[in-house]
Structure 1
Amino acid sequence: MRVVIIGGGAAGMSCASRVRALDPSAHVSVFERSSFVSHAPCGIPYFLEGLSKISDLMHYPPSFFREKRGIELHLNSEVVEVENGELRVREGGAERKYFWDVLVFATGSLPRVPPIENTELEGAFFVHHPSEAERIAREIEKAERIVIIGASYLGVELAEALSSRGKKVSVIEMFDHPLPDFDPEVVEPLEKEMRSRVQLLTSERVLALEGDDRVQRVITDRREIPADLVLFATGVRPNVRIAEEAGVRIGETHAIEVDEHMRTSVEDIYAAGDCCETVNLVTGKRVWIPLATVANKQGRVAGANIAGRNLIFPGALGTAIAKIFDLTVARTGLTEREATEEGFEFFVSYVHPYSHATYYPGAERMTIKLIVEKNTERVLGAQIIGRKGVDRRIDVLATAIQSKMTAEDLFNLDLAYSPPFSSAKDPVNVAGAVADNILRGEVRVITPEELAERLRRGDFPFLLDVRNEKEVKKGMIKGAVNIPLDELEEKIDEIPKDREVICYCATGLRSYIACRKLMQRGFRDVKNLTGSWESWIYDEFKVFPEN
């Protein structure tokens, strides 16, 4: 059996390795346009920062696949046409023809080029493939003023890498916050951190690059920014041209349509990785998720099935994580915006637990936002930001969402505990408990966004701040009345029973207790501000009492 794989990235080499492992008699050939195989584009920012070598951006060198796994590698080889049972390849200055019994498209992605004038100017680069990283690194050495277009995962990681090297960095993002795939209030601490380190320009569009022989400035719809170097981090699109020309069906996401066995619409042709679709495990709909984790698994499934097995790839959640400066931000499943667009009936909850027991040194708060479906009580999505412990919790939540767990299930998870690592109630348990309280009707909630929108309309409920005097001096919501929780019983007559009362504290626990006390004393319209002061990002409704 002659198996030909187009693309030597994560999906392609995973597929090739699996075929050879299960069927040593198969002749497996991989055609890769660059000199890199099993490459790691996610590592480019760390190479540019000086934390790794260029050779580190290949999981294994080409010699490993040739000598240890018996895979025929064709590097610096461009496939120009695919026909039934054969393909034409441009390599070594000439075109050659090769034959196949089974074909795999693992062609990955291409940079998404925005409608900006003069992107071809010298000194402007689309950061996408490790083969380009050394050239970019040489340009960075000579540059002082670097503009990054796009505050994607890659964009914010580049911002950290280059600012740590003493460069003057500007990041331009067309949406109103960095990491637009997250809900805005989740990444608000990240936005503040970035603004303290680099020039972050949000809600701003780049119109053109300008310069004589090379880029000298970036023109936006608001200003002109001097630039010695411009790096594009504007996302990617599926690389499907050759597949489409070969008659393979392209799906609604503009990526190659595949079934759960990674088979395309054409017999004996498979696809895997960033060039093909998958299924969202929450919605059940076709989606395109260009992540290395997905690509590796799809490649393995395709390779196993080519070798005669019967594996399936059920889909993905889009679980992702990034470290930016001292913060870690992660997500899995649906965001609030995505859940709204999909028509789910849901609520959101916020908690701000510590990464581990506070009596052990180094504990740090994190914020966990859950999206929970009302009728099924299952968790639809989660986002976390913090300085410690984010990675472990997002993986637990991804496992829970893939297993269709409910908020109550999260609370009941038997998770490891020792003071250096967690608390007796892990942050995931706490998040589950708070969401379950809402589901059980123990307290009604209002989100910070909902309250801020009401305040903008002039709709002011009675806001009850139950924090202590020291906390209040650091800021409170405009119009709120402060009655510390310890004084609530003796001052309860100061709270009007004929008005809606919204309680808040630092993180939501004490205000939950306050809500329960008020309800027990006959108050009928009481709500807890989920996430409380820690989730309140609306500066126009913040006041700072002097006394």
Structure 2
Amino acid sequence: MTLKIAVIGCTHAGTAAVKTIAEQHPQAKVTVYERNDNISFLSCGIALHVGGVVKNAEELFYSNPEQLAGMGIHTRMRHDVLEVNTKAKTLKARNLETGELVEDDFDKLVVTTGSWPIVPQMEGIELDNIQLCKNYGHAKEIIERATDAQHITVVGAGYIGIELVEAFRDQGKQVTLIDNMNSVMAKYLDREFTDLAETELLRKGVRLALGRTVTGFGGENGKVREVRTTKGNLTTDMVVLCIGFRPGTDLFKGQLEMLPGGALVVDEYMRTSHPDVLAAGDSCAVRYNPTGKDAYIPLATNAVRMGTLVGLNLLEPIVPYTGTQGTSAIKLFDWNIASTGMTEAAALAAGMNVKTITINEQNRPEFMPTYENVMVKLVFETNGRIVGAQVMSKADMTQAANTLSVCIHNRMTVKELAFVDFFFQPHYNKPWNVLNTAGLAAMAALEKARKATKPDVA
């Protein structure tokens, strides 16, 4: 009997899943249901397209239905799944082009429904020129509407918001950035880093409106003209909402185990609470290694790994998922910024007993013709285990965050980091690598704290 597999959604996780399934189970009948007219869009490239770095948005796709068809995968594009019965193993979908209802059954279901931008329900939200930023359609619309906009307001100072702000400034627009937190990129960086980022944004002419909440919008002739906040109103021609995402799992409420926010709970083999339903990507939770608990971390890197594991573990548990550190990076004008694991603020909020060190070091010897300062922060427990790190420099030192991610993954201590083997070559670094130096500083901080608490001996 031919194995029937239904896949709902085909962006990062879905594309990785179906390609792996086709390789591992070439005799299986795989049907993909996708409500959009495209697959595999790299939404992280929207700001690059808006800013003109990527001229052709078509280059932001890395697969298409024709490629999948060549692998024996049937894609039903522009099909919106309306209902899933996990017990009966059936689903109903509507063809958005014809209105026709389609019914199907499956042996295995793969849920890669992704996420959708959070859209606050408030006065004026329906006004024209209030944009979302997630898919190919959004990218085209943002570029089209930004052409005639002189002042653009971005709501949300996470990575997507920051990247759009830079892109709009590069296009010569007046830009205001709003966030309810008191600093930009607060989810990823502590104050030492966000202060530098904010200074750079202000230097580039971005207006920062931090520590305030949007309460509504005002407009003229159906178009947005005003953003209303808890600290006054701001005039604008266009608004882009970048305030986060929620998992697209409404189809499975009451059927599959979820976190309170709707993220599906999966085991290390990507299996949901139903043995024949697997999930990956933004629709589900991941194991966050710094805490060892499930968390919602919607990143493309997590999605492609998890999607691949769905294909490998479809019929039996073979390759476990080893969790994530939420490692990420961003380029902000001349700055290269990366982080992994927990910020100091997040660790303290979680009730963890942590210490931190922040060092400033040159990226290579001062006898070299040029060198740049590198700022590194380590967040570590009192036993020395590293749980978070941040790196910032005008030199590209972002790969250091990947190294530190491996350290957190392997539960390494600052003492181990201090003496781990790194090469030395003056073109690239110093005899003591900047990460060794950070480890040594963390060791010294722990020793100082130990001596401070050690009772005096008479």
User: TM-score, normalised to structure 1's length?
Assistant: 0.78
Cα distance between partner residues in 2 of 1:354 and 1:66:
52
1:218 equivalent in alignment to 2:224? no
Q: How many equivalent residue pairs?
A: 443
Note if contact 1:253-1:277 (Cα within 8 Å) is conserved in structure 2: no
Cα distance between partner residues in 2 of 1:228 and 1:441:
55
Aligned to 1:400: 407
1:357 equivalent in alignment to 2:365? yes
Cα distance between partner residues in 2 of 1:135 and 1:420:
44
Tell me by how many angstroms 1:344 deviates. 2.2
Percent identity among equivalent residues? 29
Range with greater deviation from structure 2 (57-66 or 99-108): 57-66
Cα distance between partner residues in 1 of 2:39 and 2:121:
31
> Within 5 Å, which residues of 2 pair with 1:162-201?
162-181=168-187, 182-197=189-204, 198-201=206-209
Q: 1:33 pairs with 26, 32, 35, which one?
A: 35
Query: Secondary structure at 1:211's aligned position in 2?
Result: strand
Aligned to 1:90: 94
Query: Secondary structure at 2:147's aligned position in 1?
Result: helix
Query: Secondary structure at 1:353's aligned position in 2?
Result: strand
Note if contact 2:268-2:322 (Cα within 8 Å) is conserved in structure 1: yes
Tell me by how many angstroms 1:439 deviates. 2.2
CA deviation digits over 1:200-248, x for unaligned, max 9? 1111221211112111121222232221111011111111101226x11
Q: 1:276 pairs with 274, 277, 284, which one?
A: 284
Query: Secondary structure at 1:441's aligned position in 2?
Result: helix
Cα distance between partner residues in 2 of 1:281 and 1:98:
38
CA deviation digits over 1:332-362, x for unaligned, max 9? 1111122112322221101111222333333
Q: 1:334 pairs with 329, 336, 342, which one?
A: 342
Tell me by how many angstroms 1:108 deviates. 0.6
Structure 1: state its 5+ residue gaps.
Answer: 446-523, 525-547
Aligned to 2:25: 23
Q: 1:77 pairs with 79, 88, 93, which one?
A: 79
Cα distance between partner residues in 2 of 1:338 and 1:103:
35
Cα distance between partner residues in 1 of 2:298 and 2:266:
15
- Structure 1 residue identity aligned to 2:93: V
Query: Secondary structure at 1:147's aligned position in 2?
Result: strand
Tell me by how many angstroms 1:49 deviates. 0.9
Tell me by how many angstroms 1:114 deviates. 2.9
CA deviation digits over 1:236-272, x for unaligned, max 9? 1111101226x11212453111111111111311111
Tell me by how many angstroms 1:40 deviates. 0.8
Cα distance between partner residues in 2 of 1:307 and 1:327:
46
Note if contact 2:186-2:194 (Cα within 8 Å) is conserved in structure 1: no
Query: Secondary structure at 1:363's aligned position in 2?
Result: coil
CA deviation digits over 1:280-339, x for unaligned, max 9? 112111111101111111111111111545111132111111111111222111111221
Residues 9 and 255 of structure 1: CA distance in aligned 2, closer, same or farther (over 3 Å): same
Task: Say which structure, 1 or 2, has more relative contact order (CA 8 Å, 6+ apart).
Answer: 2
Query: Secondary structure at 2:422's aligned position in 1?
Result: coil
> Within 5 Å, which residues of 2 pair with 1:98-497?
98-181=104-187, 182-197=189-204, 198-212=206-220, 213-244=222-253, 247-308=255-316, 310-374=318-382, 376-441=383-448
User: TM-score, normalised to structure 2's length?
Assistant: 0.93
CA deviation digits over 1:447-502, x for unaligned, max 9? xxxxxxxxxxxxxxxxxxxxxxxxxxxxxxxxxxxxxxxxxxxxxxxxxxxxxxxx
Tell me by how many angstroms 1:157 deviates. 0.5
Give the number of the structure whose alpha-carbon radius of gyration is greater.
1
- Structure 2 residue identity aligned to 1:388: A
Note if contact 1:186-1:369 (Cα within 8 Å) is conserved in structure 2: no
CA deviation digits over 1:12-39, x for unaligned, max 9? 1111111111111111111111122122
CA deviation digits over 1:45-84, x for unaligned, max 9? 00111111211221123322222x2221111111111122
- Structure 1 residue identity aligned to 2:13: A
